[in-house]
Every structure is written in C-alpha cells, then in structure tokens.
Amino acid sequence: MPTEDAATADDAQPRLERSEEGTRDLDVVAIGSPLLDVIELTSAEQLAQVGLEKGSMTLIDLVTANAVQEFMGAPRYVSGGSVANTTAGIAELGGRAGFVGAVADDEVGRTYTENLRAAGVEFEPHYSESAAGDGLGTGRCVVLITEDADRTMGTYLGAASTLSPEGVPTSFVARASVVLLEGYLWDVPAAKEAMRHAAATAHASEGSVALSLSDPFCVSRHQREFLDLLVDDVDILLGNEEEVTMLFGASSYRAAVEAAEETGLLVVMTRGAQGAVVLTARGLEEVPAAAVERVVDTTGAGDLFAAGFLFGLTHGMGPVESTTLGGLCAAEVISHTGARPEADLKALAAGAGLLPA
C-alpha cells in the first residue's frame, strides 16, 4: 500500500521495483543457515550448567549439541534459522520469498524442507557431497530461554557449513527484488564466497542487497569484513542498537547513528522497547515500538522485524511505514515462545491500517 513516504523509498532503494519482464517475481531471496530449532524454557541456574554465554549465539560441535539436548527436558522442535524465519514471515504477510541453504540428505533435512515449503517459501536446498562424505547432519540450534525472556543459543551448523557458490542458483537469486544475507553464516569461509556471489548476482539483475548483522558476537568476529561489505555489496543494513554500535566502533547510540548516516545506505536499527530508527534520504526517523502485553521470548524478534520491513519495502511502502510493520511483526513473535508467528500477521497488519483489509 504506497504512501507519501514511498517517495523516500524510491530515493533510497532504486532497485526494489519488479522488472517489467516479470523475471523478478520474488520479493526476497535469503541466503542462510537451515537449522532445526530445539527450544526450551530454563532458569539462569540451569543455563549456567550447560556452559553457554547468556544472551549470545555460540557455535558448538555435535558432541556439545547432543549434550545440551540431553540436559533439556521436553524441548520443542521447529524448523528455523534466522533468515529462514524472515522468509516465512514474508510469506505469512502475503509476499513471495525464497530461501537458499545447505541441508543433509537425511530425515531432518527432508522434514525441514517440507516444513519451510509448507510455510509458503520457495526453498532451494543444497545437498553437498562434502556434507555426505563427512557425515554431517542437518544443522540445529539449541535455544534456552530464561525467565527474563532472554535467549541463549548454541548452534551446530552441520550441513549448513557446506554452502558454497555452486550451491547458490544464479537464476533463483536473480528473481529477487532484495537478496538478504545472514550475518551468522559469515562464520563459514565457503559461505562467505556464496554470499558474495549472491550479492553480485542481485546487483547484476538490478536488485538490492540487505545484510542482517544477526548477533553482537558475530559482529565482533567479523567487524572489518562487514564494514568492507557496506562499501560495494550492501544497500540495506539491518541490526539492533548493540550490533550497529559495535559495527562502527561507536561509543554511544548517537555516534553509531552518525556513523551509519555516513554510509549513505538505508539503515534500520531496532532498540527494543524504545522502538526503532531508520535512516532515510530525509535523515533519521524514529518509530515507536508496537505494544506488547508481555514479553515471553525474544527469539526471532529481529528475524520477524526484517520480514515486516522488507515486505513493506517491496510492496510500495516507504522506510518509516515499513519499519512500523517490522515492529508489529516483532511484537507478535516475542509474545510467545518460538521464532515463528502464531497469529495471522496479515490480519494484524490490516488491523493496524498497514495493509488493505
């Protein structure tokens, strides 16, 4: 639903329009880690026993993943992965999204594929020979949620770590108005080249590239490389206040905003209960947070914010209205456990006047 804010969107993202030839028929194609989420509520005392750093994402091996799962009592299993959750949210809103990632040719991988496709996402799974040869299974993420609604994650990438440029179909990526890159996957050397390939394909097809910073610890590990990506490869930057502040080595929120403004990119920074800020051609715009009766689990908040934001940008909304939609989607997902929406996002957006009823 275009608004007066859409003129700013056109200035900031000149490549979001669908092509006249109809070849760009997907709103977003995301490149990321297909992971089975293993989710359970826990206490701070129990969390301390498993050895994961509270509030962070830590890469773990299969032995550790199995050990943590054995420690868990009755976890819930959900097909996830950061930007895969984003694509599911876009589909829930009525958009068209695709996902590229590597899974093993095993029962978990096949179940994951069926689940994501059932959510309305076009999924191009990559089954690599190296994954089969090394005995890697489909990746998983153990998610421990404490009483303060904070989530601590231990991620075993498994087959997701085998994604390479050959596993990113050029014709599939070229169909997207926006290609979304997952910061988490930057921990994998081969996947870096796969994402660079995807970015180059997007720009060659007159599409835009968005980068999700994913996690403060991820930014800390790859700060220099992420900054380099902003020069030529990225058009849209998504992150929370801590991630963006860390990325630019800023000493304060205001300093982070000033550094982000200097990039000339479309930058959106979430700030929890304080809402979000978006940097547009008109400068900084503040957007209040959507009301939440009770925060239960912050897992997936950034993923679903990205879903609403990118859906808005690819459907005629300007940056401010898109940020508002992102906040609405994030508010829904933090009101319950799990990283996928339980309410009808499209109906919620229509009720808020952001989509036609």
Domain ranges of the chain: 6-33+82-125+165-351
pLDDT digits (tens, 9 = 90+) for 332-352: 999 987 788 889 999 999 999
C-beta atoms surrounding 250 within 10 Å: 16
Q: How many residues does the chain have?
A: 357
Average pLDDT of every residue of the chain: 89
Residues 6+ apart with CB under 8 A from 133: none
CATH number corresponding to 6-33+82-125+165-351: 3.40.1190.20
Beta-strand (E) ranges in 191-336? Answer: 208-212, 236-240, 266-270, 276-280, 283-287
C-beta atoms surrounding 200 within 10 Å: 17
Buried b vs exposed e over 273-296: b needs ≥16 C-beta within 10 Å?
Answer: eebbbbbbeeeebebebbeeeeeb
Res. 1 pLDDT band, cuts 50 70 90: very low
Asked whether the beta carbons of 151 and 299 are under 8 A apart, the reply is: yes
pLDDT digits (tens, 9 = 90+) for 194-252: 999 999 999 999 999 999 999 998 999 999 999 999 999 999 999 999 999 999 999 99
As a whole number of angstroms, the distance between CA 235 and CA 253 comes to: 21
Query: What is this structure's pTM?
Result: 0.87
Res. 24 pLDDT band, cuts 50 70 90: confident
Asked whether the beta carbons of 338 and 299 are under 8 A apart, the reply is: yes
As a whole number of angstroms, the distance between CA 224 and CA 134 comes to: 31
